[in-house]
Structure 1
């Protein structure tokens, strides 16, 4: 019996079954609500963290609303498997090296901040934003969307690739919120960072490490723009590029090498490639 038929026939306690259509639909609804709230503020994307008031009116408010809605959906749908993988997936040396470089970039960025120049109220607002973005976007992509992509015996390499692509495209509205052409490069970098966040989940088998990593990365990034030292910004840029290139290599390898690895609610399995 194939992985697809096994998953379809195995009993689950879900109120609604995961599917690609449902995953895409949830992402679209999330984007409409989140970016709708941010657009209604009249504040351009690059100004979100100029003041604490800007941050609360844009990022914090939108992410808080979406976090509540996503949490409510997960509880209602009974998608408990979203929080952890049913089995361990293999990690290569390059995958682990990417996580080490990721941590190094965050540490260097935080160490190089002019902390004394950061207003206390803005620091609190950015911290709230980082916690919320780590929670909401990881539930959405490395939780709900990844689970939907894993349905019907779909290879893990394919699921990882499309989850990264979806995370990159998720940042497309920023182009129309003031980032302009620079926002196009953000889409590519976001997609590759999504691959790294997938590795955080893959390495530990739980979504919580990905949430923490995502929150810390954004916390350091939001602060670096206005309060980072020039030399540190250059070093973290080089590390970020190295992480992005390595993540691209990993995505390609996963798409090629994990065509017969599937993750179902009942375990990780190796099946005959069709």
Structure 2
């Protein structure tokens, strides 16, 4: 059995390989620069699907059975999801009332975002967190996983050619990813976070579809994207930090153990 540090090194290699598959396949599909909107609305995200399949095989071969692919708990865990649920309700309503899209586009986006939620969560809050939490102190592992999730979004510049925009996406991903990791820790499961992540990306793209499908609407400058992005992800980031603020609130984080009865999952 690999030592915790050896497992972390292997996990990093697996995630780097996953990132290469995720980026290189759509770059080959696009045959040049494209936008993320076009990638998720035009065709199935084969790079995401291939990368997810790679993760499943790698985890199975490595014998990693502690990635959080199990029912959430303990009782009342769903109460912790109130803030993401509120965001999803507001963004979903806004997207439905203001977005310009077809039923086919919505189905394609929903399918692709579901795959993204599964793939990215399995990579970072599954494979990487599963290794980091055994090899590092809590905050070191927490920052490593969240920062890696943010940094990988810089690679979007290879597809879009827009480095500043990719940098904004990386910052927003770091902040939302911190909240996702906190929820994964508190619910003892990856499954609710996969669902929230996929729906989060879907509603964000849904809201942006109106401007994207209107040729007369100019693309927002990266400064504007930064402002709106921080308004969205800032509260989530703070909520995530609050969820894991103490040893008592994050009890069992190394092995998804059951919390102290004095601190059930449904109570912050």
Both structures adopt the same fold (TM-score exceeding 0.5): yes
Distance 1:74 1:51, change over 3 A: closer
1:183 aligns with 2:170: no
Alpha-carbon offset, residue 82 of structure 1? 0.9
The gaps in structure 2 that reach 5 residues or longer are 212-224, 260-268
* Inter-partner Cα distance in structure 1 for 2:96 and 2:32: 25
Instruction: Give 1:133's match in structure 2, choosing from 116, 133, 144.
Output: 116
Distance 1:237 1:184, change over 3 A: closer
Secondary structure at the residue paired with 1:142? Answer: helix
1:123 aligns with 2:102: no
The gaps in structure 1 that reach 5 residues or longer are 1-11, 90-94, 270-274
Instruction: Give 1:26's match in structure 2, choosing from 14, 20, 24.
Output: 14
Alpha-carbon offset, residue 113 of structure 1? 1.9
* Inter-partner Cα distance in structure 2 for 1:44 and 1:70: 27
* Inter-partner Cα distance in structure 2 for 1:202 and 1:225: 30
* Inter-partner Cα distance in structure 2 for 1:50 and 1:30: 18
Q: Paired residue for 1:272?
A: none
Is the Cα–Cα contact under 8 Å of residues 23 and 144 in structure 1 kept in the other structure? yes
Q: Paired residue for 1:49?
A: 38
Following superposition of structure 1 onto structure 2, how do residues 40-189 of structure 1 map, counting pairs within 5 Å?
Answer: 40=28, 41-42=30-31, 44-49=33-38, 52-53=41-42, 55-56=43-44, 60-83=45-68, 96=80, 99-114=81-96, 117-152=100-135, 154-178=136-160, 179-189=162-172
* Inter-partner Cα distance in structure 1 for 2:9 and 2:101: 43
Q: How high is the TM-score relative to the length of structure 1?
A: 0.72
Secondary structure at the residue paired with 2:95? Answer: coil
Distance 1:51 1:172, change over 3 A: closer
Is the Cα–Cα contact under 8 Å of residues 135 and 211 in structure 1 kept in the other structure? yes
Q: How high is the TM-score relative to the length of structure 2?
A: 0.74
Alpha-carbon offset, residue 79 of structure 1? 1.3
Per-residue Cα deviation, 1:201-226 (whole angstroms, up to 9, x for no partner): 12211110010010100110111112
Instruction: Give 2:193's match in structure 1, choosing from 191, 210, 216.
Output: 210
* Inter-partner Cα distance in structure 2 for 1:215 and 1:183: 19
> Which deviates further from its counterpart, 139-148 or 44-53?
44-53
Per-residue Cα deviation, 1:124-161 (whole angstroms, up to 9, x for no partner): 11111111011111110010000110224x22222112
* Inter-partner Cα distance in structure 2 for 1:218 and 1:175: 18
